[in-house]
Amino acid sequence: MQQIFTKAMARNIFLGSAAIFLVIYIALSVDTWRQIPVRDHADQLTDAVKRGKYLMDSNNCIGCHTVNGEGAYFAPELGNVYTRRGPEFIKAWIQTQPTGIAGRRQMPHFQFTDAQYEDLIAYFKWLSNIDTNHWPPNTQG
Amino acid sequence: MNNSSQSVAKPYFIAALALFLGQILFGLVAGMQYLDGSFLFPAIPFSTSRMVHTNLLIVWLLMAYMGAAYFIVPEEAQTPLFSPKLALATFWIFLIAGAATILGYLFVPYDQLAAATGNAVVPTMGRGYLEQPLPTKIGIVLVALSLLFNITMTLIKGRKTSLNVILVVALWGLALLFLPAFYFPDDTVKASYGWWWVVHGWVEGDWELILSSLLGFILIKMTGVDREIIEKWLYVIIAMTLVSGIIGIGHHYYYTGAPEYWIWLGSIFSAIEPIPFIMLIAFAFKTLFQRRREHPNKAAMLWAMGTPIVAFLGAGLWGFMITLAPVQFYAHGTNLTAAHGHLAFFGAYAMVSMAIISYAMPLLRGRTANSVRSQRWEMTGFWTMVISMMGITLALTGAGLVTMFTQRMGANPSSFMEVADSSKAFFWIREIAGVGFLLGLLSYLTSFFIPGEYAYAAEVKRAVA
């Protein structure tokens, strides 16, 4: 057995399989790249949406929340928060944070302008339209 | 250990363990905030404690890998490290930059940190594990380049064993796979797709190569088994890692906006991702049984045997539990992922780091092995940490299952916070297990302060009696 299956053969299996699967992955990614703009309506990525996204990222919202299931599990999903809560609720909610109720999970206070709220909500709306293969299972996220 | 240049590994290992302790303390803070939401608020919001917890994890593992590289590469190459001075300078730069970043997280609000570090020009911040400000990210690249230059030159200069080549190539892979951290497009779906190049590429690809080569090195040294056999195993294991892991990345694409075919591809290939871990167990134990010597460092052997088992449980079994698309439809974005993440990171990467530290540190301190008393503290630490981490994993699994069944299923699904309130018992178990983990870590750290070398004569006498 040891003579039949040599180390050089093992190495070649490693190099060969790595190369083959890498090529397959790259080909699939090229196709995925073509499909993503259709699935997430990239044509609706307005400047407001982009600013809203920047606001989310630069405040580390996924440090507590998730977006399409990715992030932390300390606070609710935001990918579908627009559908679940609607724009007015979202704005009012952020403005009243933190609640200060002892023992409740606290969200920091973010000092946003009205324009920034509009950007943020535009981003949430854009997120809610992504084709995520029907995830989450219901609006509770 | 065959040359003094390897001693540069020592500060890396010491710093790694100090940062590990920091990671656990912030983990306890974050865990406490699940029980009392106003704990330490607003001084340390949950997003900060979690970010410090996960970023310290990355930094201490990188420290440990770098220490391991500076220890192993010259040893395998049978030649001194190309530049020990550069390695030492790199250490201080990395430690100071890492510490400054953590202090930035703790004392500067995240948006101000972003504004002060040019995030508006080159946005990279605000993604899990990659929260670092731009200067830190650039620093990580420079530190990696310095390491790669140093060990590649050493490899070129010396003996080129397969194990050494695998390790050096894997470290190149680690650096290259970090580069997508600078790619953060406006399109969230594309951003998420690219984020996994770093995260999946590291933990379900490249780092498994590092894990395999570290384990291979320890086994060659400790068991005296023929290098040819061990290196052949390594190639087959890492081949299987990439066969399953490259397309296996699809299990992150099911519900994040990528096309539907990933549901099939991801399910099929990630379902075979446990196989390399099963092979790693077979490899470790087969090598153990065929050993040609009894190494006095029993603690290092315990780490080396424990690593593939716990890695299989965390990465293999817990990973498999949530990897199939129909399961993940309900499990995605719940604490089931956190359960898997905790046991996998600990079993695979924290444990292999402690295995190499356990093997190398006595040598770096001029001993073959630590005294029996010291090893007893270390092995107590091993068992306490492993059992506690199982407790953390089971508790988070429980919390995840509650979310699955009450928030994701049924005609009247509960809201996020209702579910969180009804999961408190699990979060208590997690926190108590976390305290147990801290005690295990303290026991492990204590072993370093117990003086004395392994006394052959006394141990032989005791064994005979």
Chain B residues touching residue A10 (CB < 8 angstroms): 231-232, 235-236, 239
Contact B33 A66 (CB under 8 A): no
For residue B182, the cross-strand partners are none
Across residues A69-87, what is the average pLDDT? 98
Report the residue from A49, A72, A140 with minimal CB separation from B413: A140
Whether A6 shows a pLDDT value over 70: the answer reads: yes
The amino acid at B323: T
Whether A1 shows a pLDDT value over 70: the answer reads: no
pLDDT at A3: 67
When scoring B188, B209, B421 by the number of chain A Cβ atoms within 10 A, the one with the most, hence best to mutate, is B188
Helix (H) or strand (E) holding A70: strand A70-71
Chain B residues touching residue A127 (CB < 8 angstroms): 188
In angstroms, the Cα distances linking B237 to B241, B242, B289, B435 are 6, 9, 19, 35
Report the residue from B45, B235, B257 with minimal CB separation from A7: B235
Chain B residues touching residue A36 (CB < 8 angstroms): 187, 189-190, 193, 257-259
Chain A residues touching residue B127 (CB < 8 angstroms): 57, 62
Distance CA B92, CA B96 (A): 6
Q: Which positions 220-239 of B are in contact with A (Cβ < 8 Å)?
A: 228-229, 231-232, 235-236, 238-239
Q: What pTM, to 2 d.p., does this model score? A: 0.97
Distance CA B272, CA A85 (A): 40
**pLDDT band per the 50, 70, 90 thresholds, residue A84:** very high
Cα dihedral B323/B329/B334/B339 (nearest 10)? -20
pLDDT at B460: 81
Contact B239 A10 (CB under 8 A): yes
**pLDDT band per the 50, 70, 90 thresholds, residue B465:** confident
The phi and psi torsions of B70 (rounded to 5 degrees) equal: -65, -25
Q: Which positions 281-320 of B are in contact with A (Cβ < 8 Å)?
A: none
Whether A46 shows a pLDDT value over 80: the answer reads: yes
Place of tokens 């190149």: B172
Distance CA B73, CA B81 (A): 8
Q: Which positions 10-29 of B are in contact with A (Cβ < 8 Å)?
A: none
Tokens of A24: 């397959």
Question: Do residues B438 and B28 make contact, with C-beta atoms less than 8 angstroms apart?
Answer: yes
State pLDDT tens for residues B174-224.
999 999 999 999 999 999 999 999 999 999 999 999 999 999 999 999 999
Across residues B112-139, what is the average pLDDT? 97
Across residues B334-361, what is the average pLDDT? 98
State pLDDT tens for residues B296-329.
999 999 999 999 999 999 999 999 999 999 999 9
Contact B47 A70 (CB under 8 A): no
State pLDDT tens for residues B220-276.
999 999 999 999 999 999 999 999 999 999 999 999 999 999 999 999 999 999 999
Chain A residues touching residue B50 (CB < 8 angstroms): 63-64, 72, 74
Q: Is B231 left (phi over 0), alpha (psi -120 to 50) or beta?
A: alpha
Tell me the shortest Cα–Cα distance from A8 to chain B, in angstroms.
8
Tokens of B303: 């780490």
When scoring B112, B130, B247, B255 by the number of chain A Cβ atoms within 10 A, the one with the most, hence best to mutate, is B255
Three-state SS string over B381-407 comes to HHHHHHHHHHHHHHHHHHHHHHHHHHC
Tokens of A132: 């995520």
3-state class of A98 per DSSP? coil
Chain B residues touching residue A138 (CB < 8 angstroms): 408, 413
Whether A2 shows a pLDDT value over 60: the answer reads: no
Whether B1 shows a pLDDT value over 90: the answer reads: no
Report the residue from B114, B258, B414 with minimal CB separation from A36: B258
pLDDT at B463: 82
Contact A24 B47 (CB under 8 A): no
Place of tokens 């510490």: B99
Question: Do residues B396 and B336 make contact, with C-beta atoms less than 8 angstroms apart?
Answer: yes
State pLDDT tens for residues A101-121.
999 999 999 999 999 999 999
Whether B49 shows a pLDDT value over 80: the answer reads: yes
Contact A18 B239 (CB under 8 A): yes
Tokens of B413: 């699904």
**pLDDT band per the 50, 70, 90 thresholds, residue B459:** confident
Contact B335 A73 (CB under 8 A): yes
Tokens of B390: 């199982």
Asked if B415 has any chain A CB less than 8 Å from its own CB, the reply is yes
Exposed (0-12), middle (13-18) or buried (19+): which is B3, by Cβ within 10 Å?
middle
Helix (H) or strand (E) holding B140: helix B134-157
Whether B444 shows a pLDDT value over 80: the answer reads: yes
Contact B42 A98 (CB under 8 A): yes
Instruction: State percent of chain B over pLDDT 90.
Output: 97
In this structure, the number of other CB atoms found within 10 A of the CB of residue A90 comes to 18
Distance CA B431, CA B428 (A): 5
pLDDT at A26: 98
Contact A140 B111 (CB under 8 A): no
pLDDT at A4: 86
Asked if B186 has any chain A CB less than 8 Å from its own CB, the reply is yes
Whether B132 shows a pLDDT value over 70: the answer reads: yes
Report the residue from B50, B187, B263 with minimal CB separation from A133: B263
**pLDDT band per the 50, 70, 90 thresholds, residue A140:** very high
The pLDDT mean for chain A works out to 96
Contact B36 A103 (CB under 8 A): yes
Alpha helices in B249-273 (DSSP H): 261-271
**pLDDT band per the 50, 70, 90 thresholds, residue B346:** very high
pLDDT at B461: 82
Exposed (0-12), middle (13-18) or buried (19+): which is B301, by Cβ within 10 Å?
buried
Distance CA B71, CA B2 (A): 10
Asked if B411 has any chain A CB less than 8 Å from its own CB, the reply is no
Q: Which residue of B has its CA nearest to A58?
A: B111
Instruction: State percent of chain B over pLDDT 70.
Output: 100
Q: State yes or no: cis peptide before A136, omega within 30 of 0.
A: yes
